[in-house]
Structure 1
């Protein structure tokens, strides 16, 4: 098997400019002399060049802009790179991806997007495979448990790097590993992508329940049941006898997203629980809560699978049917075990 990362002088590109993109760009530059970086907004590029800081996200992170080739043209960045790391929020991913008019035949795709492509209800890896013909053997997935804020502060964190072949996954680990980033190789590209989507939904649920004054005892039961839903959905979607959902990429990522002060999905849920409308919460946060979009995608997929997912269904009722959160969570509490 050809390991793409055994090739010499590979050129890396960051596609996206949010907080996760900023944190991962920092990691790439730890191990590589220079990168290309697609930033949609020219004003942000000008600020990054002048100050070395992203003006909107993780502003404490400093970049040596002389080592970065910025562009607001996604195709220009693709032409200049071999490995493309996508971090665009899923809600906006397709708008940018549809601008790509270059062949991706000779590229390696890494997705760090923790959401699905709306309407099609497919993962980012599935999208590149379906619409651009990229084989799954040339797609890698970055997953947690890891928050961008703690990467920026250089707190010890763990990343799971998955690819279809373990040798490629180990090579991906070398791309990101450093003193404060431990890496874990894996081959479950399907499972870790879906787990990243699901844990955001459950983090929204945790936030809603926190806002409604449910305590730690209830929260432990909620998250335990969330883990069971995740495990059952993954098995129904992509069965894998070697998958161990108790590992960090599944259970660990679920825990940190449900409990952490840095979890934007938990924050979003807290606002919904306090009575904010979805739109008002999104405007005030000024960040994308992937769990909102993932809730609808998983709900649509599960119409065919019929997996028992009362927590995910409760979030759909609250977020998309505008049902009263206190009433829905009270109903949910009768179903948890």
Structure 2
């Protein structure tokens, strides 16, 4: 069996190498230099120039070729999904399976990724694999644990079997909404915690932002019918911990740079990768206002990103909110 991966970034490459231990893998990359590097030298020169990939990983810049396979792994940024997939409808049939690795909400529609794909392709076999996972650690086979969620538990179990390794443990879930929302909101919170780091506020501030941020994540997820246990698991708290506390997190790094005084544009340029927490902040802010969901941390991060408010003033305003019972 061959598995297709749409994307050639760091996470796509780490997962390709993992899957190639038991399956042949075909990756899609727009950059012909990346395609040639993978096919000729078994290296992704853009993201892992020092890591040798398995020889049964092939790359192509012809996206249609990927749809000859049953399993299609999506690993492209959320804001690009619609433009990529809207021309691919003729290549889908009822046997195809999309396994999503990306996180975030779409601007304008505020759709989760499963909703974007359903809007474009109709009813599809869909699952999401998510949780606390740095590509840089997975490619080195450091122990990692994630969750695979699908409305079809048997599909989730099939994907669990395909992905599971002695260093990569996969649990199953049927709470697609909870896993998608957890993976989205945690990027916003990681961004805010990065800003606090950039302001040199210390561990007390970080612990408070993580804990109160979990309340926001739970509140938001419950409003859309998610199971609270999912947010308290790998896709919620687990992913938040790894994203909020590590310099390997692009969202945390970008937030830290803004806290240090860099502009949004300068921060994104320095990170040099997609910072999904920025558009997701706008989408979650607009959606929470529309649904009247209280999310004070998200509101302040939005004001820093899109209204020019200083990060220092945002923290002061959070501390000055009306006093209340913790729960």
Q: Tell me the secondary structure at the aligned position of residue 13 of structure 1.
A: strand
Query: What are the within-5 Å matches in structure 2 for residues 133-172 of structure 1?
Result: 133-135=122-124, 138-172=125-159
Q: Secondary structure at the match of 1:31?
A: coil
TM-superposed deviation, 1:55: 0.9
Cα offset for 1:236?
Answer: 0.4
Residue 253 (structure 2) aligned to one of 262, 267, 279: 267
User: In structure 1, what is the equivalent of residue 49 of structure 2?
Assistant: 59
Counterpart in the other structure of 1:126 = 115
Match of 1:112 in 2: 101
User: Does the alignment pair 1:325 with 2:316?
Assistant: no
CA–CA distance in structure 1, aligned partners of residues 50 and 175 of structure 2: 34
| CA deviation profile, 1:220-270 (whole Å, cap 9, x unmatched) | 111100000000100001244x74432122111111111112111100000
The count of corresponding residues between Structure 1 and Structure 2 is 322
Per mean C-alpha deviation after superposition, the further-off stretch among 18-27 and 97-106 is 97-106
Matches within 5 A, 1:205-220: 205-220=192-207
Q: Where does residue 50 of structure 1 map in the other structure?
A: 40
User: C-alpha deviations, 1:57-97, integer Å up to 9, x for none?
Assistant: 133332234x234221212211x211110000123323322
Summarize deviations over 1:188-238 as a string: whole Å, max 9, x none. 111101110100000000000011111111211111000000001000012
Counterpart position of 1:284: 270
Tell me the distance in 2 between the aligned counterparts of 1:175 and 1:333: 47
Decide whether aligned partners of structure 1 residues 331 and 235 sit closer, same or farther in structure 2, where only a CA change above 3 A counts: same
Stretch moving more, 124-133 or 96-105: 96-105
Structure 2 match to 1:39: 29
CA offsets 1:256-310 (integer angstroms, 9 cap, x no match)? 1111121111000001111111111111211111111110111121122111100
> Counterpart in 2 of 1:176?
163
Partner of 2:70: 82
- Change in Cα spacing, 1:128 to 1:314, as seen in structure 2 (3 Å) is same
- Aligned match of 1:25: 16
Identify which of 279, 291, 314 aligns with 1:305: 291
SS of the aligned residue for 2:90 comes to coil
Answer with 39-48 or 191-200: which moved more: 39-48
Decide whether aligned partners of structure 1 residues 99 and 42 sit closer, same or farther in structure 2, where only a CA change above 3 A counts.
farther
Three-state SS of the structure 2 residue aligned to 1:116 is coil
C-alpha spacing 1:208/1:286, structure 2 compared with 1 (3 Å):
same
Q: What 5-or-longer segments of structure 1 have no aligned partner?
A: 1-8
Contact 2:42 2:53 in 1 (8 A): yes
Any idea what SS the aligned residue of 2:241 has? Answer: helix
- Give the conservation status (yes or no) of the 8 Å contact 1:75–1:102: no
CA contact (8 A) 2:4 2:27 kept: yes
For the Cα contact (< 8 Å) 1:296–1:316, is it kept in 2?
A: yes
* CA distance in 1 between partners of 2:230 and 2:58 (Å): 40
Q: What secondary structure sits across from 2:165 in the alignment?
A: coil
Structure 1 residues 48 and 57, CA, compared in 2 at 3 Å: closer, same or farther? Answer: same
Aligned to 2:7: 16
Q: Runs ≥4 in structure 1, deviation > 3 angstroms?
A: none
TM-score (norm 2): 0.94
